[in-house]
Structure 1
Amino acid sequence: MQKRLSERGQNIEQKHQDQKRFDLAARAAWLAYALGRTQDEIAAELNVSRQNAQRLIALASAAGLVKFRLDHPLADCIAKAQKLRDKFSLKHVEVVPSAQSDEDNRLSVGIAVASYIETLLSQTEPQILCLGTGRTLRSAVHQMPLMEKPKHKIVSLIGTVGPDGRASPYDVVMRLADRVGAQCYPLPMPVLADGPEERRMLQSQKGLRALHDLAEEARTWIVGVGDLGSQASLHVDGFITDEELAELQAKGAVGEILGWAFDGQGGPVKTSIHDRLIAVGLATPIASHRTIIAASVGAHKIAPLLGALRGGLVNGVLTDERTAQTLIEAP
């Protein structure tokens, strides 16, 4: 008993020390980024060494305490965005600067998605924001500031339960709703039902019908675009088998949005997976009041993005310079 009490006391003390360190890191970051202080000035003001000031600023950045916004428009990015808008007759396009790695570019696009969502949720009129899943959208949630927007609604467009019964690690609806204080409408069902009969039973539930109504009413959807190559997320994350991926590829599928597969021209590819999929459907043409933005980046996303754009499955794109240039140059 005494040992457990001692360990508990040590844990409490450690948490207290960590909190003090993060508080100091936040102060250092504020002085550096908001007030433009030098590291020597920060060290003097916080009564720490210059090396400690450097470490505190680095800690604030690594812990995600610093959110980046760029007010100056980049001419090349704006030009590429306009070319994409004209080529595919899009409602919304945003292009961010490219870095060397896809991981860095995903983070950059995530920051831009977060900025877009923040602007949307800052409106006084109640908004319904519908979201897919994926790594880029999860990155966006990490970049969102804490807000309190109880009149807005965040709605999931696809099942949020993985093949092993756990919540999908790439579901973003609940995480985002928590950060912005909005009403949350998750889809607490498997991404793929065991069979067509179970799918019909799940789809008949009242909650799912209400969610579909919200999705129809919503003006803004933000979705990821998945590729169906050897590293397809649906396959890597265990949602579909080797045989099901091979079936998709054999039928000419190049990408998927919300699990719905399509070919290089954006046409639907009918497979057995669709008979089990729990997700809001993709309808073309897109309703006139709605903007569906594809947030995606990387060379492996070019074919699915082109298919989605050619087929009119999305009417908005948020991507990086390199991906945008390839889309512009494609036939």
Structure 2
Amino acid sequence: MSVGPLGKAKPGATDVARLPPRDDTPFVEAAWLYYHDGLNQNEIAERMRISRGSVANYLNEARARGWVRVHLDSDVFRGHRLAAELCAVYGLAEALVVPDDPVDPEGTAASVARVTRAAADWLPRLLGPGDRLGVSWGATIYRMAQQLPNMPVPDLTVIQLLGSRPAALGFAAEACTAMLAQRLGGQCINLHVPLVLSSKALRDALSAEPVVRDQLDALAGCNKTVLACGTCDADAHVVRSGILSAETIADARDDGAVGVICGRLIDSAGQPVPTEVEDRMIGVTLDQMRGKDMALLVAAGPGRAAPAKAAIKGGFVTHLATSTRVVEELLEMTA
């Protein structure tokens, strides 16, 4: 809907914009007839004595306002044959396997969107009253957060796991955490420090500040996490965000690095591959990421199977949301 100052429709706006201000009745009526009574758009147009185009606009507006959310039960994906096989092979508690988009042969944008949407529907069901959810960062987590339904969890605390770093497209760590907290109705604890400092001494001094120490204690006490495991390619997120140089990550690959969890590198067995920058980082450690009651890894897109396997083997994952292609690659790795 195109709206001008004071809520007045601009010239050429849709039928929705020409409704009287704050008159929500047509939206509600159209949504009820479509989603509850099962009428098609032509039948609704006849019933409401409006055009079919207006019906489509009303339904779109109802969805845009968050009044309607189409939900496909995650049990459908958790019951997938590949999900059961993956759990059996890798010892996962549960896995959610989304079919790849058939017109997306490389498993890129469309398939990533499918996985993040399914993970967003699943995450609230993995949480309970009193949980302390630690949140990783990056494009995958940010996209998932954007699609999360408004489903408040009583007495939930949502905690940023690592310090801040400028990131393209707005998916900085604090944005991921704040959005998840808002959608889940939880208390938000951001880590108000840079992720990387210029020296270890400065890192140690800042970490010792009482307010920062309290935030670090909070992230250490998370009982559940949601995370992504990035790649160690030359265009990896840790390189594009300036945490590591292309030369440093190339050297780390030579040392066996295959994945990145919260800015820290791991090898194929899920063990740390240290870099010099870690002495200057403020955030969760790899040891603190292990052994959680629930740790949901969202793995989507090309090249994600090897990092996912490493994260699972390292004890960072109990639940996995991914696509058919990634699962098939994971199972091939055990053959």
Would you call these one fold, judging by a TM-score over 0.5? yes
> Is the CA contact (8 Å cut-off) linking 1:133 and 1:258 kept in structure 2?
yes
Aligned counterpart for 1:96 among listed residues 95, 98, 113: 98
Q: CA deviation at 1:63?
A: 7.7
Match of 1:3 in 2: none
TM-score for the superposition, normalised by structure 2: 0.81
Residue 290 of structure 2 is aligned to residue 286 of structure 1: yes
Aligned counterpart for 1:297 among listed residues 300, 315, 328: 300
- In the alignment, the residues of structure 2 paired with residue 137 and residue 170 of structure 1 have an alpha-carbon distance, to the nearest angstrom, of 11
**Given the superposition, is the C-alpha separation of residues 188 and 286 from structure 1 closer, same or farther in structure 2, using an over 3 Å criterion?**
same
Q: Which runs of 5+ in 1 are unaligned?
A: 1-8
Aligned counterpart for 1:320 among listed residues 306, 320, 323: 323
> 1:210 is matched by which residue type in structure 2?
D
Match of 2:196 in 1: 192
**Given the superposition, is the C-alpha separation of residues 232 and 46 from structure 1 closer, same or farther in structure 2, using an over 3 Å criterion?**
farther
> 1:303 is matched by which residue type in structure 2?
A
Q: CA deviation at 1:56?
A: 4.3
- In the alignment, the residues of structure 1 paired with residue 42 and residue 167 of structure 2 have an alpha-carbon distance, to the nearest angstrom, of 53
- In the alignment, the residues of structure 1 paired with residue 97 and residue 64 of structure 2 have an alpha-carbon distance, to the nearest angstrom, of 25
Q: Give % identity.
A: 26
Q: CA deviation at 1:155?
A: 0.7
**Given the superposition, is the C-alpha separation of residues 28 and 247 from structure 1 closer, same or farther in structure 2, using an over 3 Å criterion?**
farther
Q: Which runs of 5+ in 2 are unaligned?
A: none
Residue 46 of structure 2 is aligned to residue 52 of structure 1: no
Q: CA deviation at 1:133?
A: 1.0
Q: CA deviation at 1:188?
A: 1.8
Aligned counterpart for 1:261 among listed residues 251, 254, 265: 265
Aligned counterpart for 2:113 among listed residues 99, 107, 120: 107
Aligned counterpart for 2:122 among listed residues 110, 116, 127: 116
> Is the CA contact (8 Å cut-off) linking 2:77 and 2:96 kept in structure 1?
no
Count of residue pairs brought into register by the alignment: 319
> Is the CA contact (8 Å cut-off) linking 1:84 and 1:328 kept in structure 2?
yes
- In the alignment, the residues of structure 2 paired with residue 18 and residue 189 of structure 1 have an alpha-carbon distance, to the nearest angstrom, of 45
In the TM superposition, what are the counterparts of 1:223-234 in structure 2 within 5 Å?
223-234=227-238
**Given the superposition, is the C-alpha separation of residues 61 and 245 from structure 1 closer, same or farther in structure 2, using an over 3 Å criterion?**
farther
Q: CA deviation at 1:319?
A: 0.9
RMSD (CA atoms):
3.3
> Is the CA contact (8 Å cut-off) linking 1:265 and 1:310 kept in structure 2?
yes
Q: CA deviation at 1:285?
A: 9.3
